[in-house]
Amino acid sequence: MMNKEELTGYPSIDKPWNWVYNFNGDLPAANKTVYEDLYDSNINYSNDLAIEFFGTKINYNKLFKNIDYTSKAFEEYGIKKGDFVTICAAGTPETVYSFYALSKIGAVSNLISPYFDKEQLIKRIEECESDVLIVMDTFYDEIKEAIKKSRIKHIIIMPTLNSTILSLISKKYKLQKNSNELFWNQFIKDGEKRKDAKTVNYEKDLPLAMVYSSGTTGASKGILLSNDSFQNSLIAYKKSGLDISRGQKFYQIIPPWFSTGLSTSINLPLTCGASIYMDPRFERQVFVKNIIKHKPNYTVAPTSMYEGFLDKNLVKKCNLSYFNKPFEGGEPLRVEVKNEIDKVFKEHGSNSELLVGYGQCEGGATITTQIHGVKNTNGSVGYPLPGVTIAIFDEDFNELKYNERGYILANTPCRMIGYYNNDLENEKYFYIDKNNTKWNCTGDVGYINENGELFVEGRASDYTIIGDKKIYNFDVENAIMSLPEIKLCDVFGKKDSNNEDSFVAHIIFKDDVYTLFKNNTNLLNQELIKIQNKVYELTGEYDMVPKIFKIRTEFPHAKSGKRDINKIMSETEGFIEINGLEKPKVKKY
């Protein structure tokens, strides 16, 4: 480990995060498949709780039996090593059985969101030559028409409450006559008479799961992850000192079509002998109520879920002393909001702040994370996991020093195999330097401080050209968000009434402030001029001052749960154009 006196100023060489973990060197090499590790880690603890789901408790013994039944059923339907099985389901026990059963026989889980673009869904199924679909009944209507046009031969419908006593009284989908549809229980029954499926042994870079990019900047891309991706993430977390000991409980809420939902929220706790509490409902009130009722020790969830703890009617006088490892990821988290949530946690007995992480599906989920018990700087997304190296580069791939802004790259053993059948995109995404080090080009902009903490400022593609200047939209947003009366803000490029390039700021005021402006145009105009002056004060750039505004009470969201940027940018009404700031005159000499 390098002495502090020997620091070079370049994060990838100094690796200052090693002092945080007291770790130096490479991670132990993965030598088991995901299924093999799950089995070996828990076979001697068969009575320990593995999954809790709407009152049903499944121990490790039952988990392994159900994985065996599922693997036999897959083989009965012709699935073998290397085949892809498409899964469109949220967090349920059957999703877990399917994932591990496919790992056991060496096949690949092709995880599709129900909100996937229908044409893209068909293309992705065709691309990986998937013939079998596992679909949760509540999602089937969303994708049924697309599936009819695909190559899928067998549709296995999974009732959401299939593993609970409620399955006896819940409303069931009616199978179409003479169709290729069948229910999950029949699927399992069809494989009963087969011999137990043979376990496929570990091979380096053996494909395990495929998740997908959002497709917001073009066609979605299949992100192919290997057993190594998951296993290296598991090993890294163990080295980080995070307590994932047997008997801990994890609340799984991130859908499994994101690698965080599958790797960090299912495989990590189960392989470590912890239990997972599952609820497929992705709703804020449900999230808070479940944490209060079922007392998980840790979870990973986006900001929007944690904001439920700011609702006093939900929290009331609950005790959160057990909730000591809450992690946030996937959405921006304002420092002000984080502090409010931390305050609620502390008032209700939790000894942990809300910990922030950063990652990408391409990176196998987590790249950096804040750490319990370590001083974490507000605004950072933490330190790289053990075995992961991060660096900041300029446009010519020259590494930058501490606190210098540039493009975020990561060298991680948890990375994807690559974009599936997409050599062109793989060439764009991966960068191999002169030392033959392979870097993930995350597409994000940020910097690293002397402690080794990463600060993510925004997407590299999130910019507007004003005149001949490239201006990051998030720099304008950050300036606006510095005002305490602003709740949320989104900034885009837009032509003004003179057909000149400018910025439009979509603003949501805090509720009490919005009430003041709602029916008072003069007061609102004064506030917008104040915003313009604040942006100029903080940036010193007249071109960064937005001339167009839209006052909102909420942002539209796509079915995926993400903000619907395309819908926002297509809006044509409700804009206010104002210019309360004169352009500085250029001095002539």
Q: pLDDT tens digits, residue range 372-385?
A: 888 899 999 999 99
For residue 88, pLDDT over 90 is answered with yes
CB 243 within 8 A of CB 269: no
For residue 391, pLDDT over 60 is answered with yes
pTM: 0.92
494 in any annotated domain: yes
Contacts of the segment 579-588: beta carbons below 8 A, 24+ positions apart: 579/532, 579/547, 580/525, 580/528, 580/529, 580/532, 580/533, 581/529, 581/532, 581/533, 581/536, 581/542, 581/545, 583/542, 584/542
Note the pLDDT of residue 589: 42
Distance CA 341, CA 287 (A): 14
Distance CA 584, CA 589 (A): 16
For residue 161, pLDDT over 50 is answered with yes
Q: Per mean pLDDT, which range of 7-21, 44-58, 95-109 is the poorest?
A: 7-21
Distance CA 292, CA 280 (A): 17
For residue 559, pLDDT over 70 is answered with no
Question: What would the 3-class secondary structure string for 94-136 be?
Answer: HHHHHHHHHHHHCCEEEECCCCCCHHHHHHHHHHCCCCEEEEE
Note the pLDDT of residue 43: 97
Note the pLDDT of residue 194: 96
501 in any annotated domain: yes
For range 516-527, the mean pLDDT: 93
Report which residue type is found at 506.
Answer: H
How many domains does the chain fold into? 1
Q: What are phi and psi of 508, to 5 degrees?
A: -115, 115
**CATH code for the domain of 566:** 3.30.300.30
Note down the domain range covering 468. Answer: 463-577
Distance CA 398, CA 218 (A): 28
564 in any annotated domain: yes
Note the pLDDT of residue 216: 55
For range 574-589, the mean pLDDT: 74
For range 355-373, the mean pLDDT: 94
| Paired sense of beta strands 548-552 and 49-53, if any | unpaired
Percent of the chain clearing pLDDT 70 (strictly above): 97
For residue 316, pLDDT over 50 is answered with yes
Note the pLDDT of residue 4: 59
For range 306-331, the mean pLDDT: 93
CA distances from 242 to 229, 452, 518 (A): 19, 18, 48
For residue 561, pLDDT over 70 is answered with no
- Contacts with 198 (C-beta within 8 Å, 6 or more apart), sequence order: 105
| Paired sense of beta strands 84-88 and 501-509, if any | unpaired
474 in any annotated domain: yes
Note the pLDDT of residue 588: 46
Q: What are phi and psi of 96, to 5 degrees?
A: -65, -45
Note the pLDDT of residue 25: 73
Q: Where does the pLDDT of residue 332 fall: very low under 50, low under 70, confident under 90, or very high at 90 and above?
A: confident
Give the pLDDT confidence of 26-52 residue by residue, as tens digits: 788 899 999 999 999 999 999 999 999
For range 228-235, the mean pLDDT: 96
506 in any annotated domain: yes
511 in any annotated domain: yes
Give the pLDDT confidence of 107-123 residue by residue, as tens digits: 999 999 998 888 989 99
482 in any annotated domain: yes
For residue 215, pLDDT over 80 is answered with no
Note the pLDDT of residue 40: 98
475 in any annotated domain: yes
Give the pLDDT confidence of 134-150 residue by residue, as tens digits: 999 999 999 999 999 99
Report the mean per-residue pLDDT for the chain: 93
